[in-house]
Structures are given as structure tokens and as C-alpha cells.
Structure 1
């Protein structure tokens, strides 16, 4: 008797950042033997390297020479890697069009797609791309390192942005280049999301490193060798490092998918696209259109658990099981101040601060261990799915 051949199931993961890496590893690591014979997973990424974005401030300061990890050392061996850039997602034909460096464009079929394209640095300040260095992008961080090294002793290095990234960049650069003048400019208060005691501690730590802090100093224009503030004041800047906000790629919008005003893919509480349930989102490039996701923000601390949840949603769809809504909470906010100091703010599940915190050298050690685990544990998902623990989300009212 001839048995009917079983059709393979093609899963495509677009993006191999924190969310995409964990999604691919957890999904493949969770398959049964029978499922392994059916499921084919392809990761499409612009490079064959995993990029440690949380290390960009170290890269810019010259603390480390690279923020790249070969993808094949952390990705499940059953995953196929296609180096290229997805230009269009077609939910009707279930295909993606992929451009490849030096080669012709190809079409790739998918039955389930994980949208994990991440984010990129915003160039909202005029002149930031031409006359500054965007710290949120790999090439910007590398170029900043080169410019700082060439600037020599006595250079005035201006860091724009008073959030976590700006604070870390200013502290790291000041520690590595003590003979330079490092200036941190914030359009509002320093790290306004943190409690006053935390802001005072961070301010004190930065000043110990020699950082000059200008709060409520909004930069409206960046010119060669200087920045222009909203009050018309002009400040010298031999090197200008821009550590402001992030923005999502346009892929979801140009593909005609349901997006938010800022271009992020809109998903439900199970991470399914609002009008394309076989497209499952994870990471910085999505927004959860449900109160269960109201507290989530861009960043590695959210991208990793979203990647795990995306894998679970796709697995449930493959198996014909009920898809459970997400429950993702926070435990801490971590900031480094160079290599010797750090600040760890313990938080509630909704990211609001508790009174507990760690500082100084202990804080620095904890922050470094978190950075290392952000790569090591997703890699461990290859053989131990669920290795990355996800704290439960804040309590919510019963959904109607």
C-alpha cells in the first residue's frame, strides 16, 4: 500500500537578532522526532553574524573590537541560513522576496513566518547621519570608535541622549578616554523613567568619570564640529555620538501588513499579525495591540522573551493546539557606567521600580553577567528549549 506523502512545513524567521535567534532555537529544539522530519526552518538575515547590539557603547568607546558572533556558533544546526534582505512579504502567496548581495533576487515560500526584523537608530535630529555617529547601528558604533580614536587627547566628545544607551555610552567613553572631555546632552531629565534616587546615583557616577551633564538641553541640529541647541546655543563637538531613539524598518508597512503609526507590525496577545495570523511577530519591530503588552518596551529584555513566545505560538499552530496569550514581565533595569561601576534597579513586573537596587562594582558584575547570558542562554535553547526564563507579566483584568 502506498502511503500519502506528508507535505513539509516551511518556517521562515526574518531576522537573527535576539528575538529571531531565540525563536529559531526554541522552535527547532522543541520538535518531536516526527516533527523534525517535516519542519524546515530558514533564517533570513543580512549577515551570517549575530550582532550584540547591547555592546555597541563598548564598541564605540574602544573597550571591545567587535560586537559580532558567528551565527553558526549560536544557531541550531538544523536551521538553514539565507544571507540576504527581505524586501517584501506577501501573505497571500506566502512568499518573501529576498535580495542577496551580488546575486539575483529569489522568492522563498513559507507556511509560518516569524517577523523579527528588530529596530534601527533613528536619525530624527537633522545632520545626525551626516555629521554624527548613530550608536544604535553597527556601522555607526564602529565609525564612532574610529573617530574617537583619531580625535586624540583633549577632544570634546558630545553624546546626545539621556536614556540608558546615552548614559552607558558617556560613561564608557569617559572611562576609556580620560584625557578627552565627554559631554552628555539630554533633551529632558537624565533617565526620566527611573526613580529620583537612581538618577542621583547615576549622575554622581557619571561625574566621577568626568562626564559633563547638560539636562534639558535639546539638540535640534548637528553641524560639522558643533551641535545647535533649541535655544540657539552652539556647543563644540569634535565627535558627536547620537544615542537617541530607535525606529522600526519599513518592511511591514511596505508589505501592506497592519502596522502602528511608527511602522511596527501590530500583533495580538498571541503575537499573531492582526490580519495575518500565520505571521507571528517578536522583538522591537512589533507592537502588541492588547493591554497584556502595554508595559513592553523596545530592548533586549523584551526581545528575548518575545522570541520564545513567538516560537511557542508557531509550534501551537503547527500542532493544531490552542495558542496561549503572552505573559511577559520585567525583573530589573541594568545600566553600566564603564567597566567598574553599574546600577541595577529591581523592578515590578510592569517595569515600575522597586526600592531595591545594586550599585558600584557589584552592579557592574551583574550587568556584565546579564550581557553574557543574553547570548549564552538563547544558544542553550538549541538543546534545552525553555532555558531562557520568562518572568510572568503584571496582573491584568479578566479579558472579555
Structure 2
């Protein structure tokens, strides 16, 4: 019998894991199913570009996984039963039927969505760019704005910086503002902070610092200090919340709903489940939790796929430390910032800025998309066969480490 591997979610982590498993394992031994609600790969790191009217290259999964042996199932995951080892899905086709898929190994990569943080009015009035549907809605709204109208970006993190500068560059006729809970770029090095301020000044972006937003209305946001900031459009970028399905299972999860995993991305409570990307709580250097990002989701996918393959084939289970090297920030199409960081993600003094940094960030984005379709780094040229042994009952079972 084939070992059934189901990967749920085809963002950066899920798609890379599925492709890498297909390269690692012999096709006769495994059945790999990738479940995703959309037929195309979404470059999440480019959603601010999509929102400002730029057209992104289509990346159909049917082409990316052609000839790999990965079966693509266009369906929405509605539940996971880790005791019965099943995934419940609703097909995205005309029929829309519900089905239970059985697995032997599950790779949970459902990722995250935007987080309104319970702020009154945010869910009703704010726009988000955590996914393609939200970015397209914002795109339509921005296109309908007249010159002089105000766009307020809430959140001073990486996504907020990228969204504010992208909108200001694409629509210089609009009045763009950003509200930050702390100071602008306060986690960056002095050189990085200075460059961000320089670009914001050049683009005419108004910054409201120490201004946590406590309410959102159709035409304004209100800060904790009582300041009312006019907003024809509010863009919400205050972080991400994981998909709620994991919390509804018997898996061990954190208070945030992330699945607790070991250093091979294996669930600490259910060894036939691996969690990667934003859905997982994995520890990095200094025993600090890895942040939600493409920078961590990709190596997490490599780690999980290699660990599954090793355990099935009797190989050595990998335990490669995950670490950071830099934070890549686009500041429009012509400016960027590459902030070099320590292994545990603390800013160093060194930073690359300007046009060269923008080109560097673009190469990183292209490389991430390329890596989804070509998950070959460190993978041997020939797939390995699953090692089978006999259980006491006499039935075949995959050897595990």
C-alpha cells in the first residue's frame, strides 16, 4: 500500500513541502495530495503590489506540479480529525460536495489571515492585504478614490511600511498616512530607521507615532490618545491570526492557536502530523519563537519534508537550526531596505538601502516563487524507497525514527 501524505494549504510552505516530498520519495511508495482552495499560487509578499493595480504573473499549480506525482485537490478544508486521521474538505467545483480524506502523514500548512485584534469597526470598515481577495477589494476601492482623499495604513511593521510606500508611490495624488503603535521603524538599526523616514518624507506620507488605533469608522480612525484621523480608506496591517481549525482539534496548540512542534516540525502531541509556516509554533535561535514570515516558512517546509522522508526511508532525521540573516523591505518599486539581523532576528548596524536594496528585494521575491516550483535545494537526484518492516501483528508498516 502507498503511504498517504496529505498537505493542506498551498502557500509558500505547503507548496514547497509537497514538491520536496515528491522529489524525496519514490512515486510508487507514496500518494501525495495537496489540498488548496485556489488553483494558482499566491505570492503573498506581493499583495501590496496587487492592491495598487499591478498585475502579477499567474502561477497555476497544474503547471507547477505537472509530472511530479503530486495530486492537486481544489477544495476548502473544514476540519481535521487527528485521532481518526482524516481531513474534511468541500470541493470548490460546481458540485461542492463534502468528503473525508484519509492520511498516514499530514502536513498542516493552512497559514494565517489578517488579525483585526478585536478593534471595534476594523472588521466592518478596514481593508486587508493578507490574501488575494482582500488585495483585490482594496485595489478596486483605491481605483475609485479621487485626488486628495486620505488613505490610512494602520500598523508600522513590515507589511505596513510596504503598503504605505507602495500606495503613496502609485497614487501620489492621494494623502497617505500611517499610524504606528510605537515609533516608525523602531526595531530597525539607526541607518534603517533614517532611510525609512527619508523615503516617507520623499513620498509625502504622514506618520502618526505612538498612536495605537482603538476604533475604525467608515471615514476615520481613532487612536488611544483620542486623536481622530480622517480616512476615506483604512488599510489594516497589524499582524496575522492563524487559521482556527487547529484549535478545534486534539493537537497541542499555543494560546494563539499555533501547533506546537519539535525541531523537525513534528507535532509534539501527534507524531503523524507536521505543521509548517504561520500555523506552527517553532523555536529558533535563543529559544525564541520564529516569526510569521516567508523567511521562516520556507526552511520550515524543507525541514518537515526532509524529516518525513528520512523517517519513512530509514535515513538520518535532519535537525538543521533555523536562523535569520536579514529583513527585506520594499519601499515602493524604486526604494528598499535590507536590514541585516542576528540569528535570532535582532537588527545589526549594517543595512543596504536605496535602489540596490529594491533590486535585492525583488530578487528575493522572485527566488521565493521559483523555490515553490523548484524545491530541490539539498535534495538527492534520485528519490528513496520507503523501508518497510513487519509489525508484531504481521502487517507491513513504514519504519520510523
Same fold (TM over 0.5): yes
Aligned residue runs from structure 1 range 265-276, under 5 A? 265-276=259-270
Kindly indicate whether the alpha-carbon contact (under 8 Å) linking 1:292 and 1:327 is maintained by their aligned counterparts in 2. no
Aligned in 2, Cα 1:290/1:377: closer, same or farther, shift over 3 Å?
A: closer
Match of 2:208 among 208, 214, 237: 214
Determine the structure 2 residue equivalent to 1:20. 14
Determine the structure 1 residue equivalent to 2:198. 204
Kindly indicate whether the alpha-carbon contact (under 8 Å) linking 1:248 and 1:264 is maintained by their aligned counterparts in 2. yes
- Please state if 1:99 is matched with 2:90: yes
Query: Distance between the aligned counterparts of 1:208 and 1:290, measured in 2?
Result: 37
- Please state if 1:75 is matched with 2:65: yes
Q: What SS does the aligned partner of 2:84 have?
A: coil
Query: Distance between the aligned counterparts of 1:194 and 1:203, measured in 2?
Result: 12
Determine the structure 2 residue equivalent to 1:392. none
Q: What SS does the aligned partner of 2:328 have?
A: strand
Determine the structure 2 residue equivalent to 1:114. 107
- Displacement, 1:377? 2.2
Kindly indicate whether the alpha-carbon contact (under 8 Å) linking 2:283 and 2:289 is maintained by their aligned counterparts in 1. no
Aligned residue pair count: 377
Match of 2:140 among 142, 146, 160: 146
Which shows bigger deviation, 315-324 or 262-271?
Answer: 315-324
Query: Distance between the aligned counterparts of 2:271 and 2:259, measured in 1?
Result: 12
- Cα offsets for 1:129-162 (capped at 9, x unmatched): 2111012232221111111110121111111110
Kindly indicate whether the alpha-carbon contact (under 8 Å) linking 2:151 and 2:232 is maintained by their aligned counterparts in 1. yes
Query: Distance between the aligned counterparts of 1:342 and 1:134, measured in 2?
Result: 22
Aligned in 2, Cα 1:382/1:75: closer, same or farther, shift over 3 Å?
A: farther
- Please state if 1:40 is matched with 2:31: yes
- Displacement, 1:92? 2.3
Kindly indicate whether the alpha-carbon contact (under 8 Å) linking 2:285 and 2:343 is maintained by their aligned counterparts in 1. no
- Please state if 1:158 is matched with 2:152: yes
Query: Distance between the aligned counterparts of 2:193 and 2:353, measured in 1?
Result: 12
TM-score (norm 1): 0.90
- Cα offsets for 1:14-49 (capped at 9, x unmatched): 110000111111111122xxx321111000111111
Q: What SS does the aligned partner of 1:364 have?
A: helix
Kindly indicate whether the alpha-carbon contact (under 8 Å) linking 1:128 and 1:134 is maintained by their aligned counterparts in 2. no
Query: Distance between the aligned counterparts of 2:198 and 2:347, measured in 1?
Result: 19
Q: What SS does the aligned partner of 1:329 have?
A: coil
Aligned in 2, Cα 1:178/1:386: closer, same or farther, shift over 3 Å?
A: farther
Q: What SS does the aligned partner of 1:37 have?
A: coil
- Displacement, 1:303? 0.5
Aligned residue runs from structure 1 range 240-279, under 5 A? 240-279=234-273
Kindly indicate whether the alpha-carbon contact (under 8 Å) linking 1:295 and 1:351 is maintained by their aligned counterparts in 2. no
- Displacement, 1:212? 0.8
- Please state if 1:227 is matched with 2:221: yes
Kindly indicate whether the alpha-carbon contact (under 8 Å) linking 1:280 and 1:313 is maintained by their aligned counterparts in 2. no
Kindly indicate whether the alpha-carbon contact (under 8 Å) linking 1:25 and 1:385 is maintained by their aligned counterparts in 2. no
Which shows bigger deviation, 164-173 or 73-82?
Answer: 73-82
- Cα offsets for 1:327-379 (capped at 9, x unmatched): 11112111111111101112222222222221111011001111111111231
Q: What SS does the aligned partner of 1:250 have?
A: coil
Kindly indicate whether the alpha-carbon contact (under 8 Å) linking 2:285 and 2:321 is maintained by their aligned counterparts in 1. no
Kindly indicate whether the alpha-carbon contact (under 8 Å) linking 2:285 and 2:344 is maintained by their aligned counterparts in 1. no
- Displacement, 1:181? 0.6
- Cα offsets for 1:265-323 (capped at 9, x unmatched): 11112211111011011101110268775251100000111111110111022113442
- Please state if 1:169 is matched with 2:159: no
Query: Distance between the aligned counterparts of 2:234 and 2:304, measured in 1?
Result: 38
Which shows bigger deviation, 19-28 or 83-92?
Answer: 83-92
Q: What SS does the aligned partner of 1:284 have?
A: helix
Query: Distance between the aligned counterparts of 1:362 and 1:179, measured in 2?
Result: 27
Aligned in 2, Cα 1:85/1:292: closer, same or farther, shift over 3 Å?
A: farther
Which shows bigger deviation, 80-89 or 318-327?
Answer: 318-327
Determine the structure 2 residue equivalent to 1:65. 55
